[in-house]
Structure 1
Amino acid sequence: MRALCWHGRHDVRVDTVEDPQIQDPRDIIVKITSTGICGSDLHLYNGYMGGMQAGDIIGHEPMGEVVEVGAAITKFAKGDRVVVPFTISCGSCFFCDRQLFSLCDESNPNAEKAAEMMGHSPAGLFGYSHLLGGFPGGQAEYLRVPYADVGPIKVPAGLKDDQVVFLSDIFPTGYMAAENCDIEAGDTVAVWGCGPVAQFAIQSAWMLGAGRVIAIDRVPERLALAEKHGRAETINFEEQDVYEELMQRTDGRGPDRCIEAVGAESHAAGDLKEALDDAREAVHLPANHPYALSEAIKCCRKGGTVSVPGVYTNTLNDMPMHSLMNKALTLRGGQTHMQHYLEPLMNKIVDDGFDPSFVITHHATLEEAPEMYKTFEQRKDGCIKVVLKP
């Protein structure tokens, strides 16, 4: 089959690789019909994530048609259309029993390596380094799905791929980010970033009762999307001082809830530290940037909550822990507990008419994927979200 493979920093290629095979009775094989390029895929592309090996198949936002089922699978049959969540979860360990699916104790075969870095291992993830299992990803013609009796969700008849493919990651991720804020009716919610996850965090904040949403970015197309589809007020951090602007708009109190939906590669306007980090990256020493997270902690009102769906791949320096502690803030993060959200959010699509496809700006073939990574990473051609059609 053809698959997009990682070969190093800024080097992804479409290679011919072996077709996946059933390896366990709980496996299924899916023929991929749509798969997204995620913002966190750019962390791989830009060399931020350890544990990558040349030839790794990447991608973690897939859906498609079931073409083969393991002997233990009764939930799916050949021909079913399914969305595959990016987390791989066994369904019966200590954490899965508590609906904390992204913390599964059983699905990462390289758990010891992850624990050395993080203290404990999270769940295995599709296409996201050998630290998190080394599982081949979904930017390919076919995908093996382990623990398939726990993971994927069947797509109801009549729904197009573009309506449901983001149940694989970014819609539930944005929703959990907003839910982690413990939004109370009428709260002001500030969202750092206006990329795809942030767009769904904005939508979800309204769903959960926010009275006001303020979105922060510097890319005009993303800010415009947050205004048009997200009904958010916006701040361009290259043109306005974010702290001063938020204080003015909230009578000096600050936003009640803050969502940092940027992660390791955030930017700061005119910041010397960013220039130093850029210099390090020029010699292939990529540093995780704390700019957005630090600003969210500084801006959040006392006693408020900061939610972090943005992906980080290493430790951070210059974190304002004094602000976090003295302001009595709650800080929450985590990979998304995907299986907890799939059915409720599918219902929002089917019953409430919510259409996640509004974030899509580009469709492309699998063979065009290397060029689309460049376009997405450089934010050319108004690119906000790419969906590949293998």
Structure 2
Amino acid sequence: MKAAIWAGVNEVAVEDVPEPQLLNSHDVILKISKTVTCGSDLHLIGGYIPAMRAGDVLGHEFTGEVVEVGSGVQKVKVGDRVVVPSFVACGKCWYCAQELYSLCDNGNPDPGITEGLWGQSPGGCFGYSHAMGGDAGSHAEYMRVPYADVGCFLVPDGVSDTRALFASDSVTTGWTGAHLGGTKPGDVVAVWGAGAVGQMAARAAMLLGAEQVVVIDRLPERLAQVRRHIGAEAVDYSTTDVVAELRERTGGRGPDVCIEAVGMEAHSTGVQGAFDQVKQQLRLQTDRPSAVREAIRACRKGGSVFVLGVFAGMVDKFPLGAMMNKGLTVRGAQQHGQRYVPEILRHMESGVLTTEHLATHTMPLTQAAEGYRIFKEKADGCVRTVFEPGS
């Protein structure tokens, strides 16, 4: 079958790979209908995430049709149209019982690398290096999904594949940040990053009752989507002092909840931004934390900062003094999709949560290299590139 693979640093190729097989009784095989690029894929492609091997199948955000089921699968059957969260969870360990699904003890079959990096291993993630389990990704004609009764969710008849596609990761990631960041009715929420995850974090905050939501970015087409499709306020950080702007918009206090949805390759202006980029390129630090720093500075005293963007290792100049002296709660997580997907699909079915606008570019899987190029370069207003393996 055809699949988009990691062929080396900054190299994506489409090659023939073996078709997946059932390995356990709880597995299913999906025929992939749609699969989409993600900003965190760029960290893999750029060589910032360890343990990639040439030939690894990329992709972790997808919908598909069940074409084969293991003998122990009870909740889905051949022919079902499903969406699957990007993180693999068993549903039975202590962490799954606490609904912390991305921290599953059994989702990552090769935990040694991340235990060495972080002290403990989170769950596995499809198509996201051997550090995160080594499971083949979704940029393929078919893929294996373990723990299918926990991870496969039926897509309602009234929800299109394109809308459901983003419930796999973008919406669930955004929802994780808005919910675990403590968003309450009446809150002011600021979100750094107007990509798919940032937009969905903003929409989730609104659905959780936030009174005012502000999204910060520099790309005019993404800020226009925020205003038109999300209904939130938008701030171009390249034209204003963000901290001062947020104070002015919140009566001098600052946002109650600040959500960082940018990650380890954050862009910023000025000398500090250039300094961060040089240090990352020289491997003097692994990640660029400019958006996190700004979120901590901007957040009101006693507020909450949620780190939603993907980070891999160490950062310099973390504002620990501001965090401590302002009494902030700082959290982070990968998405707990199995916790949120049912609610997300209900919102999608009712029409209060739409995602089709994120799919700015759609093309056959055979054009994956070009799809990633325009996505990385943000060419032609690209927010996300969707691949259709069957076309």
Give the TM-score of the pair, scaled to structure 1: 0.96
Residues 127-177 of structure 1 deviation map (CA, whole Å, 9 limit, x = unaligned): 001111111000111000111111110122243211211111111111111
Equivalent position SS for 2:59: coil
Instruction: Read off the aligned partner of 2:310 and give its amino acid letter.
Output: V
In structure 2, the residue matched to 1:358 is 357
Closer, same or farther in 2 for the Cα pair 1:282/1:321, shift >3 Å? closer
In structure 2, the residue matched to 1:339 is 338
Closer, same or farther in 2 for the Cα pair 1:300/1:277, shift >3 Å? closer
1:319 offset after TM fit, Å? 0.4
Do 1:30 and 1:65's aligned partners in 2 also have CA atoms closer than 8 Å?
Answer: yes
In structure 2, the residue matched to 1:164 is 164
Counterparts of 1:137-148 in structure 2, within 5 Å, are 137-148=137-148
- Separation in 1 of the partners of 2:228 and 2:331? 28
In structure 1, the residue matched to 2:379 is 380
- Separation in 2 of the partners of 1:345 and 1:158? 14
In structure 2, the residue matched to 1:325 is 324
Instruction: Read off the aligned partner of 2:26 and give its amino acid letter.
Output: R
Instruction: Read off the aligned partner of 2:358 and give its amino acid letter.
Output: V
- Separation in 1 of the partners of 2:327 and 2:278? 35
Equivalent position SS for 1:354: coil
Equivalent position SS for 2:15: strand
In structure 2, the residue matched to 1:24 is 24
Question: Number of matched residues?
Answer: 389
In structure 2, the residue matched to 1:219 is 219
Counterparts of 1:54-69 in structure 2, within 5 Å, are 54-69=54-69
- Separation in 1 of the partners of 2:366 and 2:285? 28
1:294 to 2:293 alignment:
yes
1:290 offset after TM fit, Å? 0.7
In structure 2, the residue matched to 1:52 is 52
- Separation in 2 of the partners of 1:172 and 1:282? 31
Closer, same or farther in 2 for the Cα pair 1:157/1:250, shift >3 Å? closer
1:352 offset after TM fit, Å? 4.7
Equivalent position SS for 2:379: coil
1:358 offset after TM fit, Å? 2.3
- Separation in 1 of the partners of 2:177 and 2:25? 34
Query: Which consecutive unaligned segments of at least 5 residues does structure 2 have?
Result: none
Do 2:285 and 2:314's aligned partners in 1 also have CA atoms closer than 8 Å?
Answer: no
Instruction: Read off the aligned partner of 2:299 and give its amino acid letter.
Output: C
Residues 306-337 of structure 1 deviation map (CA, whole Å, 9 limit, x = unaligned): 11111101111110000000000001110111
Counterparts of 1:22-101 in structure 2, within 5 Å, are 22-101=22-101
Do 1:60 and 1:125's aligned partners in 2 also have CA atoms closer than 8 Å?
Answer: yes
Of 299-308 and 172-181, deviating more is 172-181
- Separation in 2 of the partners of 1:246 and 1:345? 29
Equivalent position SS for 1:78: coil
Closer, same or farther in 2 for the Cα pair 1:285/1:317, shift >3 Å? closer
Equivalent position SS for 2:226: helix
- Separation in 2 of the partners of 1:345 and 1:232? 19
Closer, same or farther in 2 for the Cα pair 1:195/1:123, shift >3 Å? same
Equivalent position SS for 2:381: coil
CA RMSD between the two structures: 1.4
- Separation in 2 of the partners of 1:315 and 1:353? 39
- Separation in 1 of the partners of 2:234 and 2:155? 35
Instruction: Read off the aligned partner of 1:66 and give its amino acid letter.
Output: V
Residues 46-74 of structure 1 deviation map (CA, whole Å, 9 limit, x = unaligned): 22111111111110001111111111112
Instruction: Read off the aligned partner of 2:70 and give its amino acid letter.
Output: G
Closer, same or farther in 2 for the Cα pair 1:352/1:235, shift >3 Å? closer
In structure 1, the residue matched to 2:200 is 200
Query: Which consecutive unaligned segments of at least 5 residues does structure 1 have?
Result: none
1:179 to 2:179 alignment:
yes
- Separation in 1 of the partners of 2:268 and 2:52? 28
Identity of aligned residues (%): 46
Do 2:150 and 2:338's aligned partners in 1 also have CA atoms closer than 8 Å?
Answer: yes
- Separation in 2 of the partners of 1:291 and 1:242? 12
Closer, same or farther in 2 for the Cα pair 1:67/1:285, shift >3 Å? farther
Equivalent position SS for 1:140: coil
Residues 278-307 of structure 1 deviation map (CA, whole Å, 9 limit, x = unaligned): 345556777310100000000100000011
- Separation in 1 of the partners of 2:354 and 2:249? 30
Instruction: Read off the aligned partner of 1:168 and give its amino acid letter.
Output: S
Of 351-360 and 252-261, deviating more is 351-360
- Separation in 2 of the partners of 1:148 and 1:114? 24
- Separation in 1 of the partners of 2:315 and 2:194? 22
Do 2:76 and 2:152's aligned partners in 1 also have CA atoms closer than 8 Å?
Answer: no
1:41 offset after TM fit, Å? 0.8
Do 1:48 and 1:286's aligned partners in 2 also have CA atoms closer than 8 Å?
Answer: no
1:194 offset after TM fit, Å? 0.4
Do 2:260 and 2:305's aligned partners in 1 also have CA atoms closer than 8 Å?
Answer: yes
Do 1:47 and 1:286's aligned partners in 2 also have CA atoms closer than 8 Å?
Answer: no
Do 1:277 and 1:287's aligned partners in 2 also have CA atoms closer than 8 Å?
Answer: no
Residues 17-44 of structure 1 deviation map (CA, whole Å, 9 limit, x = unaligned): 0000011111110010101101111111
